[in-house]
């Protein structure tokens, strides 16, 4: 609505119509933020944001929360670029301040400050050559999904994108593993960790036993701790062609134990089935998982037989799974000596007890 004003010039009274600045006009000229090119950044600052909007002319300042941002380059009426300042973690509004006013808070002007990412795993458990290894790496801070990578890994070990070290190491030694995590903001965290691979400790000497399908496995580890001796199963069921089934004992005299804890042996023996000559093949293989493992030995065995009566027969148990644990070894106690007198030679004299 125009406002009437009075102007006296000489003896003339002149009526002037002066346009008034209305509140609606001030609001329409106020800056308005429509889009942020980046909506997340580190609490350390330094994130560059392109701000799109309206009425950025006569720019005075840009604030993130209550902290002033640094304007980069020459702002335009619909676009400006700022670099975020340091700020505590959390959600803030980016507000543009011009000579006319300050942009209103909206959902599109929100910027989230995120704590910088850091690898929180500080050490790695040792690995044993030939044994399965798995360790998940951890990190704090950052934003979104992390993608992991590493260099310097021992042979046989790899790192998944999700941050899990896994595999079966094949060589003994110590490795300096440089791990790296990258989040969705391209923030990167690094750390160097030591991963030592040692040779497996051989199994304790003694007797071992474990259940099998319908029978019991037994063997023993000799004092040298380099082989399994007298592997035996009283009876193994073999299925044959033509719906024939037989039960035969399983035995392997000696199975060498490799340095990585693995073992395998195949033996062939000649015998009889129903009075007919037969050839028996026994396969025994598996892995020693360590003396402190709940189940030190696991693996598979298989027995096959070929014989001919009126027709040729081929029989097999197929692969059967076994587990074995060490039996409790009895205490060795010496008998008390008999009562009486004993004597024997001593150096230059005679010993009497």
- Secondary structure of 89-121 in HEC code, one letter for each residue: CEEEEEEEEECCCECCCCHHHEEEEECCCEECC
> Percent of the chain beyond pLDDT 70?
85
Instruction: Lowest mean pLDDT of 19-23, 235-239, 300-304, 327-331, name the range.
Output: 19-23
Beta bridge partners, 49, equal 82
DSSP state of 257: B
**Residue 339 pLDDT > 80, yes or no?**
no
CATH number, span 23-114: 2.60.40.10
pLDDT at residue number 104: 96
The predicted structure's pLDDT at residue 245: 85
Nearest to 230, CA basis, from 265, 202, 198:
265
Nearest to 49 by CA among 151, 185, 177: 185
Residue 2 has pLDDT above 60, yes or no: no
Residues in the chain: 353
Tell me how crowded residue 196 is: count the other CB atoms within 10 A of its CB: 15
pLDDT > 70? residue 237 = yes
Judged against a pLDDT cut of 80, whether residue 99 lies above it is answered with yes
Strand partners, 161: none
- This model's pTM is above 0.75: no
Question: Could you report the per-residue pLDDT of 145-167, keeping only the tens digit for each?
Answer: 999 999 999 999 999 999 999 99
pLDDT for the residue 7: 42
295 SS3 class: coil
Tell me the average pLDDT across 139-149: 93
Output 311 or 30, whichever has higher pLDDT. 30
Domain residues of the chain, as ranges?
A: 23-114, 118-198, 206-326
- Parallel, antiparallel, or unpaired: how do β-strands 320-326 and 297-308 relate? antiparallel
Other Cβ atoms within 10 Å of 251 Cβ, number: 17
Class of domain 118-198: mainly beta
**Distance between CA atoms of residues 74 and 85, nearest Å:** 19
N-terminal to C-terminal alpha carbon distance within the chain: 135
pLDDT at 16 exceeding the cut of 60? no
Is 281's pLDDT higher than 70? Answer: yes
Q: What is the pLDDT of residue 134?
A: 95
Q: 48 vs 341, which has greater pLDDT?
A: 48
Q: What is the arithmetic mean of pLDDT over 121-148?
A: 92
Instruction: Please report how many Cα atoms fall inside a 13 Å half-sphere around the Cα of residue 65, on the Cβ side.
Output: 15
**348 CB-near residues (< 8 Å, 6+ apart):** none
- Higher-pLDDT residue of 133, 353: 133
pLDDT band at 342 (very low <50, low <70, confident <90, very high): low
Q: Do the domains at 23-114 and 118-198 have one common CATH topology?
A: yes
pLDDT at 3: 46
pLDDT value of residue 1: 47
In the predicted structure, residue 20 carries a pLDDT above the cut 50: no
Cα gap 279→190, rounded to integer Å: 61
Q: How confident is the model at residue 347 (pLDDT cuts 50, 70, 90)?
A: very low
CA-based nearest residue to 169, from 135, 202, 203, 192: 135
Q: Could you write out the three-class secondary structure of 149-200?
A: EEECCCCCEEECCCCEEEECCCCCEEEEEEEEEECCCCCEEEEEEEEEEECC
pLDDT of residue 284 exceeding 70? yes
Cα gap 249→245, rounded to integer Å = 14
Q: Helix, strand, coil proportions of the chain in percent (round to 5)?
A: 5, 55, 40
Average pLDDT of the residues in 326-340: 63
**What pLDDT score does 343 carry?**
56
Top mean-pLDDT range of 77-86, 179-188, 244-253, 288-297: 77-86
At 130, is the secondary structure helix, strand, or coil?
A: coil
Q: Is 31 helix (H, G, I), strand (E, B) or coil?
A: coil
For residue 173, pLDDT over 80 is answered with yes
pLDDT digits (tens, 9 = 90+) for 257-280: 987 788 999 999 999 988 899 999
Express each pLDDT in 27-53 by its tens digit.
Answer: 579 999 999 999 999 899 999 999 999
Give the per-residue pLDDT at 107: 95
Phi, psi of 315 (to 5 degrees): -125, 150
Of 18 and 247, more confident: 247
């Amino acid at each position: 609505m125009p406002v009437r004003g009075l102007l006296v010039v000489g003896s003339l009274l002149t009526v002037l119509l002066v346009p008034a600045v209305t509140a609606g006009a001030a609001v329409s000229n106020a800056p308005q933020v429509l889009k942020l090119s980046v909506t997340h950044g580190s609490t350390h600052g330094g994130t560059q944001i392109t701000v799109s909007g309206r009425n950025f002319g006569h720019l005075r300042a840009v604030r993130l929360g209550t902290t002033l941002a640094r304007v980069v380059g020459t702002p335009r009426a619909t676009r400006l670029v700022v670099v975020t300042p340091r700020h505590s973690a959390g959600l803030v509004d980016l507000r543009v301040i011009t000579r006319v006013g300050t942009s209103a808070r909206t959902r599109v002007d929100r910027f989230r400050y995120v704590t910088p990412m850091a690898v929180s795993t500080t050490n790695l458990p040792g690995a044993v050559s030939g044994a399965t290894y798995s360790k998940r790496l951890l990190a704090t801070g950052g934003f979104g999904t992390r993608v992991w990578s590493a260099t310097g890994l021992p042979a046989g070990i790899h790192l998944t994108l999700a941050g899990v070290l896994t595999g079966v190491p094949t060589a003994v030694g110590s490795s300096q593993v440089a791990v790296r995590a990258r989040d969705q903001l391209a923030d990167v965290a690094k750390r160097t960790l030591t991963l030592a691979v040692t040779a497996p400790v051989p199994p304790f000497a003694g007797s071992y036993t474990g259940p099998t399908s319908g029978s019991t496995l037994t063997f023993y580890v000799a004092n040298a701790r380099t082989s399994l001796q007298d592997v035996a199963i009283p009876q193994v069921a073999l299925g044959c062609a033509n719906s024939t089934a037989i039960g035969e004992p399983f035995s392997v005299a000696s199975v060498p134990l490799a340095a990585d804890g693995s073992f395998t042996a195949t033996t062939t023996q000649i015998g009889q089935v129903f009075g007919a000559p037969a050839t028996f093949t026994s396969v025994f293989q598996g892995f020693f998982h360590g003396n402190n493992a709940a189940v030190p030995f696991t693996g598979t065995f298989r027995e096959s037989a070929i014989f001919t009566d009126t027709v040729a027969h081929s029989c097999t148990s197929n692969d059967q799974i076994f587990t074995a644990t060490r039996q409790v070894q009895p205490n060795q106690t010496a008998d008390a000596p008999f009562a009486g007198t004993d004597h024997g030679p001593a150096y230059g004299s005679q010993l009497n007890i």
